[in-house]
Amino acid sequence: MSALDRALAAQRLGWHVMVCGADKRPLTAHGLKDASTSKKTIRAWFEKYPDALPAVVAGPSGLAIGDFDVKGGKDGLATLTRLGHELPATWTQRTPSGGAHSFYAAPEGVELPNGSADLFERGSGIDRRTGESYAVLYEMPPASLAELSAAPDWLVTVGERTRTADSAPDASVERFRA
């Protein structure tokens, strides 16, 4: 599937799509503020920037995205396990560097802050993509929003982080390493 196919699949989910260069920086004049759900706009961007990477802006798309790095001595999935947090099963994509982006449904009626790097501790390898932050789509997004689980508390709670009793956690993160 092409980058345009991935972008249009995200648009069909109601996700706010933007275009980035190979360096993951926005290609449009106003960056993530230009993100769109318009098929016409998205197609025009890919005509203008045929090598663009599609990305989705978390907040307006109703997403909370866990970004797990495995580079530069960081292993976000190992950190999550070490800290005793569970990773609810949800739609997840691999990144070119071997990491993963886990996409969750953000809590309704809650305005989440912009994303942050190194959640929990410096060098954790766990970044949060919420609010006005974005993630590049390297794979075809899910066919349905039903494939997204509710975001775990540790991903969306600012300050003290606790596990939720109502999430459907799966303690095994090994399935994302395959």
Average pLDDT over residues 116-121: 91
* pLDDT (0 to 100) of residue 167: 37
- Tens of pLDDT along 78-89? 999 999 999 999
* pLDDT (0 to 100) of residue 176: 43
* pLDDT (0 to 100) of residue 174: 47
Average pLDDT over residues 101-122: 92
Q: Where are the beta strands (DSSP E) in 9-125?
A: 16-20, 53-57, 63-68, 91-94, 100-105
For residue 10, the SS3 value is helix
- Tens of pLDDT along 135-165? 999 999 999 999 999 999 999 985 433 333 3
> Which of 48, 46, 55 has the alpha carbon at shortest distance from 24?
55
Residue type for position 154 = W
Give the burial class of 158: count Cβ atoms within 10 A of its Cβ; 0-12 exposed, 13-18 middle, 19 or more buried.
Answer: exposed
Question: Residue 40: how many CB atoms within 10 A of its CB?
Answer: 8
For the chain, how many residues are written? Answer: 178
* pLDDT (0 to 100) of residue 158: 52
Percent of all residues in the chain with a pLDDT value above 70, rounded to a whole number: 88
Mean pLDDT (the chain, rounded): 89
> Which of 124, 125, 6, 121 has the alpha carbon at shortest distance from 55?
6
Position 109 confidence tier, pLDDT thresholds 50, 70, 90:
confident
